[in-house]
Structure 1
Amino acid sequence: MNVELRYLRALVAVVDAETFTDAAIELGTSQAAVSRSIAALEHALGLRILQRTTRSVAPTPVGERIIAHARSVLAELALLEREARDHGSELRVSYAWSALGRRTIALQRQWEEVHPEVSLVWVQSSAPSGGLADGSADVAVLRRSIADARFSSTPIGTEARYAAVASGDPLSRRRFLRMADFADRTIAVDRRTGTTSEELWPEGSRPAGFRLVQGVDEWLTLISTGKALGMSSEATAAQNPRPGIAYRPVRDAPRIDVFLASWRDDPSPAVADFIRLARAAYALG
């Protein structure tokens, strides 16, 4: 029996993302490659792990147990990799859309002064755990709480919400917007990693429609071409300027909570210090 780690990563990604397409995006590969990995794993084990239909993917009863074991193997591997890095020279910090916005550079410089021996490495990840589960990150910047009991999340501050509009849109001529300004418009949202959902608006005053996107690049492209409006954190506005897009504060929108997530059962002094510095950066405003 030949079971490769990439098979297990593909399996967990499909289960978490709920589609082969989204799993491929998270893994940075093709949908065909994900399908081949799942097929190879099922062939190696001699078991049907996933039940596929045209609309959904669901684990079989035995698949549920296989998935639990796969998560355990990947978690142990992540711990092994992190243990090796703890004796190395870098701390990897992941983010989905934007790191810490305008605070990122200042925090980077402060870290270099305090820890000149440890490089701070920023990595982008759209995985549900921010790359913690697969070992690609030591700490993850999240703008929604994480439900996975393996990880702890520490609130470090809040951010204002900004609208993103095409530069030719009449709304771009305003200094700020309000939630009501979205009422008759289409909003681009990423339900996996974004911070905007229908529930932000009261019943009866919600936007005319919602356009689903996958990731910040697709979001920016849709908005810049005038096909939709967007709303995201101030960090997105700071770190993702793009020709053809104007960012405007949304005065009456609820603020966004910012969290740093890390492994619950393996505290790292470097992670703890990064959390301390990030919290202090937000406290300064």
Structure 2
Amino acid sequence: MDAELRHLRTLLAVVDEGTFTAAAAALHTSQASVSRTVAALERALGARVLRRTTRELALTTVGTRVVGHARRVLEEVAAMQRAATEARADLRVGYAWAALGRHTTAVQRRWSDSHPGSALVFVQSNTPTAGLTEGAVDVSVLRRPVPDPRLRTALLGEERRYAALAADDVLAGRRSVRLGDFAGRTVAVDVRTGTTTDELWPGPGGPGAVRTVRGVDEWLTVIAAGQAVGVTAEATARQHPRPGVVYRPVRDAPPVAVRLAWWAASPPAELEPLLQLVRERYAAPGGRTSS
């Protein structure tokens, strides 16, 4: 038989309380149970840990060493339990470029109000699943299909597409643009996590070239420098203002579907409340959702 946590807790109770009777009271059990548990620990260790007489209760040399280890073991177990509790309390939401855009703060505040002691923690990860398959998050916000059979997704809503332009670009003076305005231009594209593909321009009149980038920061940098233009979801425009870059709606571009993804085999306990909350925000006046 191996030593168990209950054995260690009982031994420490006896040492801290000074008697078997007081230890039993502290543990809400009987004195006989305390005695049996200490005896079981001694059998597991193959050595006496307490010296008991009618007048004295003291640790043996082995017992003194065991008590030190027992305290450290129980402290580590308590720390492990706290870590697990804290991890369950917060829900980690991954995103590649722009979380929930203008809905992000409102959703976080509403979540905290309705889930005391819990928080939505948004984690940026420039991977195709926004950190989900890498184990960095519990769920992720995706704006492009991920054909992974291990994952499940649900539609949250839709967002308009926006053009990102250098502030001195000829198109920056317009209130909105069309897809045809990109004809012959160089378009910055993140092929791993971005939402812009050739399918936006199915016929002639598409971009003249593609500038490959990695992540939103590099994307904004080349656009601000006038080296390329970009097309992105509304959330990027809301969440990533940048000096030297202006955003304009693309009025004839199809919307971007925004989805939540999670592991099919282990959905988080608070999945349904999160889906409901975010869908409500996208459906609210001024938001955009699918019909």
Same fold (TM over 0.5): yes
Name the aligned partner's letter for residue 142 of structure 1: L
**Quick one: distance in 1 between partners of 2:277 and 2:142?**
16
Name the aligned partner's letter for residue 207 of structure 1: P
| Other-structure match for 2:233 | 233
SS of alignment partner, residue 270 of structure 2: helix
Alpha carbons of structure 1 residues 85 and 186: separation in structure 2 relative to 1, 3 Å: farther
**Quick one: distance in 2 between partners of 1:252 and 1:131?**
32
- The alpha carbon displacement at 1:134 in A equals 2.4
| Other-structure match for 1:163 | 163
SS of alignment partner, residue 273 of structure 2: helix
- The alpha carbon displacement at 1:275 in A equals 1.5
**Quick one: distance in 2 between partners of 1:258 and 1:148?**
17
| Other-structure match for 2:105 | 105
**Quick one: distance in 2 between partners of 1:131 and 1:259?**
14
- Does the Cα contact within 8 Å between 1:145 and 1:153 map onto a contact in 2? no
- The alpha carbon displacement at 1:116 in A equals 1.6
1:114-129 paired onto structure 2 within 5 Å: 114-129=114-129
| Other-structure match for 2:195 | 195
1:61-100 paired onto structure 2 within 5 Å: 84=84, 88-100=88-100
| Other-structure match for 1:137 | 137
SS of alignment partner, residue 88 of structure 1: helix
Q: Which runs of 5+ in 1 are unaligned?
A: 1-82
Of residues 211-220 and 261-270 in structure 1, the stretch that sits farther from structure 2 once superposed is 261-270
The Cα offsets for residues 242-273 of structure 1, whole Å up to 9 and x where unpaired, read as: 00000000000010000000111122221221
Name the aligned partner's letter for residue 168 of structure 2: G
- Does the Cα contact within 8 Å between 2:108 and 2:119 map onto a contact in 1? no
- Does the Cα contact within 8 Å between 1:138 and 1:271 map onto a contact in 2? no
- The alpha carbon displacement at 1:195 in A equals 0.3
**Quick one: distance in 2 between partners of 1:248 and 1:273?**
33
Q: Which runs of 5+ in 2 are unaligned?
A: 1-82
- The alpha carbon displacement at 1:87 in A equals 6.2
State whether structure 2 residue 263 is matched by structure 1 residue 246. no
**Quick one: distance in 1 between partners of 2:249 and 2:269?**
37
Name the aligned partner's letter for residue 183 of structure 1: A
**Quick one: distance in 2 between partners of 1:129 and 1:184?**
32
Cα RMSD over matched residues? 1.5
SS of alignment partner, residue 238 of structure 2: helix
Seq. identity, %: 52
Q: Given the two structures, how large is their TM-score scaled by the length of structure 2?
A: 0.67
**Quick one: distance in 2 between partners of 1:129 and 1:241?**
24
- The alpha carbon displacement at 1:135 in A equals 1.7
SS of alignment partner, residue 232 of structure 1: strand
**Quick one: distance in 2 between partners of 1:145 and 1:124?**
18
- The alpha carbon displacement at 1:183 in A equals 0.3
**Quick one: distance in 1 between partners of 2:85 and 2:182?**
46
Alpha carbons of structure 1 residues 202 and 88: separation in structure 2 relative to 1, 3 Å: closer
Alpha carbons of structure 1 residues 258 and 239: separation in structure 2 relative to 1, 3 Å: same
SS of alignment partner, residue 253 of structure 1: coil
Alpha carbons of structure 1 residues 122 and 87: separation in structure 2 relative to 1, 3 Å: closer
**Quick one: distance in 1 between partners of 2:85 and 2:96?**
22
**Quick one: distance in 2 between partners of 1:172 and 1:87?**
45
Alpha carbons of structure 1 residues 273 and 134: separation in structure 2 relative to 1, 3 Å: same
| Other-structure match for 1:274 | 274
The Cα offsets for residues 178-210 of structure 1, whole Å up to 9 and x where unpaired, read as: 001000210000010000011210221111111
| Other-structure match for 2:17 | none
**Quick one: distance in 2 between partners of 1:114 and 1:199?**
41
SS of alignment partner, residue 131 of structure 2: coil
- The alpha carbon displacement at 1:85 in A equals 6.0
Count of aligned pairs between the two proteins: 203
**Quick one: distance in 1 between partners of 2:228 and 2:88?**
45
**Quick one: distance in 2 between partners of 1:150 and 1:275?**
19
**Quick one: distance in 2 between partners of 1:120 and 1:227?**
37
SS of alignment partner, residue 163 of structure 1: strand
- The alpha carbon displacement at 1:160 in A equals 0.1
